[in-house]
Structure 1
Amino acid sequence: MLIFNHSSFLTFTLMGIPGLESQHLWLSLPFSFMSLAILIGNGAILFLVATEPTFHSPMYLLLALLMVADLISTLALLPKLLCLFLFNNRDIAANACFTQMFFIHGTSVVRSALLVAMAFDCFVAVCEPLRYNTILSHSLVGRLGLLALAKGVILILPMPLLLQRLTFCHMIIPHTYCDHMAVVKMACGHTRPNCIYGLFVILLVMGLDLLLIGFSCGLILQSVVRLNSRDATCKALNTCSAHFFVTLVTYVPALFSSLTHCIGHNVPPHAHVLLANLYLLLPSALNPIIYGIKMKEIRHKVAKCLCRGSA
């Protein structure tokens, strides 16, 4: 058995989607369209928030931070994925692999933390509307953004560091990107600390963040039930509807992906890999559409820009 060490000189080989290697060229088409939609949609919202003073409220600033996290995650994943699908370029240096892992998993943690901050924003908007600007100041939004960034760095940085201590018996990763657990399975020797830490991060991020989001949603619903006016109830629900849909789009594919790893032993390998890609890309592609549909300010501004461009 060959044993590889010194990660600085290692090169991994990404298999792509196991069992569907002959379809990689065709699969590149939906992934290319999805990447284009992510770049255009997220870029457009970022441009609006940056250039329009009316979009400098806490809600839109948090939305802009979410768009930045989505773009970074996409740029960390798609270039290598498309090179693999289009040009069969499978090799990736170990340090590049660990760097990709850090940015992909790190932005996932940041995205989850920002969704918690946006749930808090909805709670204040519905339950404390008169104190909204006092509670959610621009400085607090900045601190929430830094806290989300710190959470992503602190939780994910140990993953590549723990991997660098390992020796590797296999170099072909049955995946389209350097997923943490996929790389851990390539190692020989004592990998239990890596597995335990990976499980700890999943439980902490998904468990705690979903609990906080669920708690804020419960308080919002409790407040909405007490409203006597139908118009006020509709306005309150509309305020949080976009965030509710984005939370579903973000966590449902992630939960399915995690469940297939934990209990889906009979799930085909290509289904594992496709789900792992979808839970990263689908929220980034759908978030701008959801916010564009549910937030009339964004919808009206985009329509105005399109009419001005066609004039």
Structure 2
Amino acid sequence: MKISNNQFPNSSKFPITNFQKLVWLLEIGIWKFIGYWKLEFGNWKKQKVFACKSGSLLLMSILILSSIITAASTMGTITLQNLRLGIAVDNGLVALYAAESGVEDALYEIRKNETAAAALLANGTLANNASWARTITTTTMSLGKTVPINGSWEINLYEPDTSLSPLSNPIKSLRLSWAGSGSEWAEVKITPWTTAGSLGAPTTQLFSAASNPATVNLQDATAVLYRIQIKALYSALNNLTVAAYNGLDLSGSPVPLPTQITLLSTGMFQRAKQAVRAIMAHRAPLSDVFGYVLFTEEDLIKP
């Protein structure tokens, strides 16, 4: 590139060499480059600030939306759980009533219609689509009850549904234990009969508080059944417990007593389940009045 002296001021008064011209051109180029760089840097800085502001707004919007969604989800979850709990409570009440229906049905069949326990239905369905299922146990390993003074307790040592059938586990002795004041006596009346239907002579055994626990020996026979009546004399027999054995003098092994029914009824409605358990004597016991004798000079008329 050719450079003339006219491009520089006062070149006529002060002669300028080519080297000085080259230096001045370099300086001018450097200053132009620096100015351009400052301009570009300023524009970049402005764009950067604007981009940062735009990113902050986006991040804040995302955080706010996330908080709203989280709060709404939490409230929805709580509401849904409360709704499910309310439905479960309502269904549980229906299931409870269904379970009670299973128990009431069994009580009616056993006491009113004298239906054998083995012939009772295992399940049933109600009109509201609720259902019940029940299990029935007709034996127990021990019996317990508090007998008040002059009160009595009847225990059947036979299968109430088939009173002449021999027991699968014959009972030959009983163990009686109780708590009392020390002045009480236990009167045990035993009425036997054979599986052939022959009635035996009733016997009575007396036990004082000193003999507690008492041993009641029956007969060493497998074809004899019994009805036992325990009466409290002079004081109550508190927490009286009765257990049976298949040998005399409480020898052998403990055997179940066939005098008590345990009903376990489970009611079901949708996903809810409720259970009710009822324990009762297999047959309604005789009243205590049958332990007494009435004397009268006139005729007794039963209404």
Would you call these one fold, judging by a TM-score over 0.5? no
Using CA pairs below 8 Å that are at least 6 residues apart, which structure has the higher relative contact order?
A: 1
- State which structure, 1 or 2, has the greater radius of gyration over its C-alpha atoms: 2
TM bin (shorter chain): under 0.3
Structure 1-normalised TM-score?
0.20
Where is the strand percentage greater, Structure 1 or Structure 2?
2
Structure 2-normalised TM-score?
0.20
